[in-house]
Amino acid sequence: MANNSITAGAPRETPNDGTGLVQLDPWLGPFKDSLRSRYSKAQQWIKTIDETEGGLEKFSKGFEKFGFNVRDNGDVVYREWAPNALRAYLIGDFNNWNRDATPMAKDNFGVWEVTIPGKDGQATIPHDSKLKISLVVPNDHARQERIPAWIKRVTQDLSVSPVYDARFWNPPKEQAYVFKHPRPPKPLSARIYEAHVGISSPEPKVATYKEFTKNILPRIKHLGYNTIQLMAIMEHAYYASFGYQINSFFAASSRYGLPDDLKELVDTAHGMGITVLLDVVHSHASKNVLDGLNMFDNSDHLYFHEGAKGRHELWDSRLFNYGSHEVLRFLLSNLRFWMDEYNFDGFRFDGVTSMIYLHHGIGTGFSGGYHEYFGPGVDEEGVVYLMLANELLHTLYPSVITIAEDVSGMPGLCNPLSLGGVGFDYRLAMAIPDLYIKWLKEKQDIDWDMGNLAFTLTNRRHGEKTIAYAESHDQALVGDKSLLMWLCDAQMYTNMSVLSELTPVIDRGLSLHKMIRLITHGLGGEGYLNFEGNEFGHPEWLDFPRAGNNNSFHYARRQFNLVDDQLLRYRFLNEFDSKMQWTEEKYGWLHSDQAYVSLKNESDKVIVFERAGLLWIFNFHPSTSFTDYRVGVEQEGTYRIVLSSDSKAFGGHGNIDESTRFFTTPFGWNGRKNFLQVYIPTRTAIVLALESTL
């Protein structure tokens, strides 16, 4: 991925044809035609939607037109897009599942509609009762029952069948949840805690929204994260899909509780000043027919591309047709719905690489050559959908955050539409965890390459914000190992008690776990992410109940009890993580300029850099400590330690006197104006700040 700087010179007027990115990155010059093409397609959609729908703002309120809506007089209006169907009927508990009692009428656009009259201002369809749409389709003229596409609640009774039931969710107004807290302001530094409600309990079960609110939110607050990224919320039929095979896009998963319980979770987080993001899956959909969107009106191409183009061969799922007017309405309204109904603050878009390339990233290694990001391999319709989604969200919600999960490094992903960018706030730095896993698998500690480490952490596109992480949910899944498992392996089960010997393996594991996280936090990006449990080195991988493990919940849980046990060493890692987050809160390095790396010493295994006025010193050497080690620093003055990985509070040896005052000497060193001298023990990191900032 190129790390290009903005070219110097007088400010130029930004062209209004989508080629503004070229001013930021001249290497994009040869691809102006591609930039113009995607930009003009986005503008054409905006113009079309303005003319036919009254603008993006109205267009994205599709949930007020489609699905079930209750009028003030109690009338229930139900609309569904199913152009291929010959006849349609609404069936359910309310009409004793009579297949012919409630016929629907079809308009010229293939939209079916029916109104169920209210009585005395109340809906005659009972709240939470079951219903379906019954369609007569061409060819066999057989009846097919489907779950309404815009349904807001579905439930599953696994004792009867894995297939979901649609519910008419219309609680009495006096029972509806009322939000108490405003959205928090957009955080200057995004410190993200990636979490999954269902696994958020030490007990072998599916945890609930209520339990997450009561038990996990206070932990996240203590740790100092200011943003939560919630996974697997959009309803998915198969729990073991980790929430990535969505069948009902407007329904919050019922396996964790009621819709209002999720609202309370988000609202409580807001009351703590925590931003809440939703992991949104618009890259593909479950291929379920009975309770998904697939073959909804018996056509292969309603929401999806027809044939092979509409199928993801690795994910065994369906692919959206982003060039379809009604599909755009569905997906943009889906984003709007989660923002308005549940008060989410933004989204992490899953599988962006799959959305923006026709090859979906399958069998493609991205070398960083710009030709890979433009031309015939790009799915321009997918790119344009993401442009529209970001434009909509950032126009309506000033504090919104959007994050792209893209493996390819597509330029302009995190630049605004006005410049020809796709409009995300952040992208994930997916190369960083890969480096750590590769080294822990293949290299001796003495062979770790300091230059390569610093390069991987700083290699990001200028002007596009990146979220760095040492490990996410991807590294926690069954078959892989968390960093602490790579570091400590079997000894995690025998030597994590403070009553047992601190073996060389555990000592190394604790030390490197802290150092890897700290250098990633300080050097790796403009945001930081951690997956739930990894902050304290959760000992086991994540594996959901499935046939292959006898439907066991043993690995589908997070053992927070390990942190609370004062006799276990996990608490040291937990407290170090908390100290790291709160120190960032004070000094704000994530929203400061990129670091200046003054030293990458291969023989000493030392890295030194400055960021946000702090001096960061890392000694990765497995056996050598250094006394009076000279490090350069630009700003003169008296420095003190604000964070030491060697502190006994964090499971270190306490070899560093943290009350030491370090005085600079005005003599150039490593390209800096001053130097100071420090003691850095083996496998230790320290962060120094000017005494005046304490």
Alpha carbons 30 and 614: distance in angstroms, whole number: 40
Please check the confidence at residue 3 and state whether its pLDDT lies above 90.
Answer: no
Which one has a higher pLDDT value, 461 or 9?
461
What is the average pLDDT value for the chain, to the nearest integer? Answer: 95
- For position 40, what pLDDT does the model report? 98
User: For residue 683, what are its two tokens?
Assistant: 């496998």
pLDDT tens sequence across 177-226: 999 999 999 999 999 999 999 999 999 999 999 999 999 999 999 999 99
Q: Which DSSP symbol is given to 493?
A: G
Domain boundary among 428, 456, 482: 428
Task: Determine, yes or no, domain membership for 436.
Answer: no
Contact 144, 298 (CB under 8 A): yes
> 264 falls in which pLDDT band (50, 70, 90)?
very high
Q: For residues 39-62, give the mean pLDDT.
A: 98
Q: Is residue 235 part of a domain?
A: yes
- 264, 297, 405, 575: the catalytic one is 405
Rounded Cα–Cα distance for residues 86 and 37 (Å): 39
pLDDT band at residue 2, thresholds of 50, 70 and 90? very low
Whether residues 326 and 408 share a domain: the answer is yes
Residue 505 in domain? no
CATH number of domain containing 235: 3.30.750.90
196/261 same-domain check: yes
Task: Report which DSSP code applies to 213.
Answer: I
Asked, for residue 106, whether it belongs to a domain, the answer is yes
Two tokens, residue 662: 């370090």
Asked whether residue 264 falls in the same domain as residue 369, the answer is no
Cα distance between residue 514 and residue 576, in whole Å: 7
Mean pLDDT of 534-549: 89
The enclosing domain of 79 has a CATH number of 2.60.40.10
Judge if 170 and 216 occupy the same domain: no
Residue 7 has pLDDT above 60, yes or no: no
In a domain, 471, yes or no: no
Please tell me the predicted confidence (pLDDT) of residue 130: 98
Asked whether residue 127 falls in the same domain as residue 167, the answer is: yes
Please check whether residue 47 lies inside any domain of the structure: yes
In a domain? residue 603: yes
**Same domain, yes or no, for 270 and 328?**
no
- Which of 259, 281, 303 terminates a domain? The answer is 281
Confidence grade of residue 478 (pLDDT, cut at 50, 70, 90): low
- Does the structure show a pLDDT above 80 at 67? yes
Of 352, 347, 404, the residue nearest 379 (C-alpha): 352
User: What does the DSSP assignment read for 366-395?
Assistant: --S-GGGGSSTTB-HHHHHHHHHHHHHHHH
pLDDT tens digits along 135-189: 999 877 789 999 999 999 999 998 888 899 999 999 999 999 999 999 999 999 9
Question: Residue 540 has what pLDDT?
Answer: 84
Both 276 and 340 in a single domain?
no
Query: Residue 657's domain is classified under what CATH number?
Result: 2.60.40.1180
Angle at alpha carbon of residue 40, lines to 38 and 45, rounded to 5°: 95
**350 assigned to active site:** yes
- 4 band by pLDDT with thresholds 50, 70 and 90: very low
- Residue 9 clears pLDDT 60, i.e. is over it: no
Instruction: Answer whether residue 670 shows pLDDT above 80.
Output: yes
Give the amino acid at 185: P
Predicted pLDDT at 1: 46
Domain match, 68 and 165 both: yes
Are 198 and 168 in a shared domain? no
Final residue of a structural domain among 387, 406, 428? 428
Clarify whether 405 is annotated catalytic: yes
DSSP-derived pairing of the beta strands 596-601 and 626-633: unpaired
Checking if the pLDDT of 350 tops 50, the result is: yes
Q: DSSP states of 631-681 as a string?
A: EEESS-SEEEEEEETT-GGGT----S-TT--EE-BSS-BTTBSEEEEEEE-
- Counted domains in the chain: 4
Average pLDDT of span 610-634? 98
Backbone torsions φ then ψ of 602, nearest 5 degrees: -70, -40
pLDDT at 6 over 50: no
Between the alpha carbon of residue 633 and those of residues 178, 438, 598, 689, the distances in Å are: 53, 32, 8, 11
Whole-angstrom distance, CA of residue 664 vs CA of residue 599: 17
Do 71 and 122 sit in the same domain of this protein?
A: yes
Torsion of CA 29, 30, 31, 35, to 10 degrees: 40
Looking at the fold, whether 48 and 67 belong to one and the same domain comes out as: no
Domain that holds residue 381: 15-54+320-428
pLDDT at 11: 56
Q: Given this model, what pLDDT does residue 5 score?
A: 41
Catalytic residue, from 297, 350, 406, 646: name it: 350
Arithmetic mean of pLDDT, 618-627: 98
The whole-number average pLDDT for the span 387-398 is 98
Q: Are residues 158 and 68 in the same domain?
A: yes
Confirm whether 437 is domain-assigned. no
Q: Map 524-555 to HEC letters.
A: CCCEEEEECCHHHCCCCCECCCCHHHCCCCCC
Distance separating alpha carbons of residues 552 and 543, to the nearest angstrom: 9
The whole-angstrom separation of Cα 525 and Cα 517 is 12
Q: Count CA atoms closer than 13 A to 223's CA, side-chain side.
A: 28
**Residue 403 belongs to domain with CATH number:** 3.20.20.80
